[in-house]
């Protein structure tokens, strides 16, 4: 590191904005075998956390060089531990270290500093998400920092095709008012792991495009729920930042180009084409997926087609993504492409207080709830 001491401090937008953006542009996200994702934060490096109740970004400097960044957010969520099923948790994201300064302990020091900030703000648990094949992230958090495997949700990504999806006339839809949606979520999903206590703020946020329910035609939506029904909400992540695929495998590129050609040459076959992900694009994130009754799976699939058609009308939305519990049976009804999805994301967690360590052992032993609430503010 030369004769300079590493300095870690809070992000200063006036001093650091351009340098953080440059660092983020130079750092890839995701496994190389599926292509690297590059993020364009549209001039706001803290865009991914600024909608959270409490948040912070730390930067690492060596002399005049900004060599690393990390972000964190804090919220109150449902976790199944005694004596209460609520806990303050800190989410770690956006850890980036400049390529020339990696393997020097900078990432480790950034995480430690962020954990200290969590503890000062009353956080009991810190958690992070990574792909199970990310060896560098696993070694840092699990082997060196004491995090443990917690949950393995599935990230499902569906490209927005060049034509609208056909929606069955057997079902009806209704867009709920924010108050109705909040009441419904609190009634049916408040016991779900990581359900945020401030769900109302999420639903009221301008990035939340709405909450929809679907049910069988002939039944009605009212004081009592239909025999089968489903619900979901949509978050417009593309308003915060854009993604771009780079360095993808040649097979992926060839498949994309050939699928686009086939759709143009043989439209009668209605073959879906992969959008051009090599140009910056936005995406919708589907959250709060829930359903009841024998037709709930089909209703979720129909709602996902409704969201696809919403995205189809958008200017630059090229994908619809969601993240659900690994054991959630509804995942099988959510349209997605295996080529773009991650069947096993990895969540790791760590107790930051001594009194929480025994509770963490019990939480890990407890079988996960079928559903898992993934906060769209942390995507």
Q: What distance in Å separates the CA atoms of residue 350 and residue 343, rounded to the nearest whole number?
A: 23
- pLDDT of residue 32 exceeding 70, the answer is no
Where is mean pLDDT largest: 195-209, 275-289, 359-373? Answer: 195-209
157-333 CATH choice from 3.40.50, 3.40.630, 3.30.70, 3.10.450: 3.40.630
Instruction: Give me the pLDDT at residue 266, please.
Output: 45
Name the least confident of 39-43, 106-110, 135-139. Answer: 39-43
Average pLDDT over residues 224-243: 96
Sign of CA dihedral 203, 341, 369, 305: positive
Distance separating the N- and C-terminal Cα atoms of the chain: 33
pLDDT in tens, 236-286: 999 999 998 876 544 454 545 444 444 444 444 444 566 778 889 999 999
Q: Which two tokens stand for residue 175?
A: 């867009």
Instruction: Give me the pLDDT at residue 277, please.
Output: 84
- pLDDT of residue 315 exceeding 90, the answer is no
Give the burial class of 235: count Cβ atoms within 10 A of its Cβ; 0-12 exposed, 13-18 middle, 19 or more buried. buried
* % pLDDT > 90, the chain: 71
Instruction: Give me the pLDDT at residue 133, please.
Output: 86
Sign of CA dihedral 234, 238, 242, 245: positive
pLDDT in tens, 115-137: 999 999 999 999 999 988 889 99
Instruction: Give me the pLDDT at residue 273, please.
Output: 61
Name the least confident of 9-13, 107-111, 343-347. Answer: 343-347
| All CATH 3.40.630.30 domain ranges in the chain, comma separated | 6-152+345-370
**Strands, sheet with 282-292, edge to edge from the N-terminal-most edge strand:** 154-159, 317-324, 282-292, 229-236, 208-216, 171-176
> 362 with 81: CB under 8 angstroms?
yes
Average pLDDT over residues 48-55: 96
Instruction: Give me the pLDDT at residue 260, please.
Output: 46
Q: What distance in Å separates the CA atoms of residue 255 and residue 243, rounded to the nearest whole number?
A: 20
* % pLDDT > 70, the chain: 89
- pLDDT of residue 162 exceeding 90, the answer is no
Average pLDDT, the chain: 89
6-152+345-370 CATH choice from 3.40.630.30, 3.30.2080.10, 3.40.50.2000, 1.10.275.10: 3.40.630.30
Instruction: Give me the pLDDT at residue 82, please.
Output: 65
Q: What distance in Å separates the CA atoms of residue 319 and residue 285, rounded to the nearest whole number?
A: 9
Q: What distance in Å separates the CA atoms of residue 238 and residue 156, rounded to the nearest whole number?
A: 17
> 280 with 245: CB under 8 angstroms?
no
Q: How confident is the model at residue 43 (pLDDT cuts 50, 70, 90)?
A: very high
Q: How confident is the model at residue 11 (pLDDT cuts 50, 70, 90)?
A: very high
Average pLDDT over residues 286-311: 97
Average pLDDT over residues 132-160: 94
Instruction: Give me the pLDDT at residue 205, please.
Output: 98
Q: How confident is the model at residue 3 (pLDDT cuts 50, 70, 90)?
A: low
Q: Which two tokens stand for residue 19?
A: 């340098």
> 202 with 376: CB under 8 angstroms?
yes
Q: Which two tokens stand for residue 137?
A: 């992230």
- pLDDT of residue 158 exceeding 50, the answer is yes
Based on C-alpha coordinates, what's the Rg of the chain? 21
The answer to whether the predicted template modeling score (pTM) of the entire model surpasses 0.75 is yes
Q: Which two tokens stand for residue 35?
A: 């292509």
Q: What distance in Å separates the CA atoms of residue 212 and residue 306, rounded to the nearest whole number?
A: 9
């Amino acid at each position: 590191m030369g004769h300079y001491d590493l300095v870690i401090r809070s992000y200063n937008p006036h001093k650091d904005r351009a340098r953080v953006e440059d660092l983020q542009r130079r750092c890839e996200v995701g496994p190389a075998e599926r292509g690297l994702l590059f993020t364009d934060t549209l001039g706001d490096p803290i865009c991914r956390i600024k909608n959270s109740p409490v948040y912070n970004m730390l930067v690492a400097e060596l002399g005049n060089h900004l060599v690393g960044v990390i972000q964190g957010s804090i919220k109150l969520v449902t976790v199944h531990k005694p004596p209460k099923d609520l806990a303050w948790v800190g989410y770690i994201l956006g850890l980036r270290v400049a390529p020339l300064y990696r393997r020097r302990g900078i990432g480790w020091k950034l995480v430690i500093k962020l954990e200290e900030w969590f503890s000062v703000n009353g956080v009991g648990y810190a958690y992070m998400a990574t792909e199970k094949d990310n060896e560098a992230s696993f070694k840092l958090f699990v082997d060196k920092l004491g995090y443990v495997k917690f949950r393995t949700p599935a990230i499902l990504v569906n490209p927005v095709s060049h034509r609208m999806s056909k929606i069955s006339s057997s079902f009806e839809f209704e867009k709920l008012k924010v108050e109705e949606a909040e009441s419904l979520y609190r009634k049916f999903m408040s016991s779900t792991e990581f359900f945020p206590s401030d769900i109302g703020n999420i639903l009221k946020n301008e990035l939340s495009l709405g909450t929809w329910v679907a049910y069988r035609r002939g039944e009605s939506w009212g004081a009592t729920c239909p025999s089968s029904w489903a619900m979901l909400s949509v978050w417009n992540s593309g308003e915060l930042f854009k993604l771009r695929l780079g360095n993808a495998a040649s097979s992926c590129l060839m498949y994309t180009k050939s699928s686009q050609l086939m759709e143009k040459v043989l439209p009668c076959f209605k073959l879906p084409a992969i959008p051009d992900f090599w140009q910056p694009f936005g995406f919708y994130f589907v959250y709060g997926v829930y359903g009841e009754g024998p037709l709930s799976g089909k209703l979720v699939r129909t709602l996902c087609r409704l969201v696809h058609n919403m995205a189809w009308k958008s200017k630059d939305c090229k994908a619809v993504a969601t993240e659900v519990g690994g054991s959630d049976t509804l995942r099988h009804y959510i349209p997605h492409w295996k080529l773009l999805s991650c069947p096993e994301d990895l969540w790791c967690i760590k107790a930051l207080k001594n009194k929480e360590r025994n509770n963490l052992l019990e939480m890990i032993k407890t079988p996960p709830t079928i559903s898992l609430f993934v906060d769209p503010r942390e995507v």
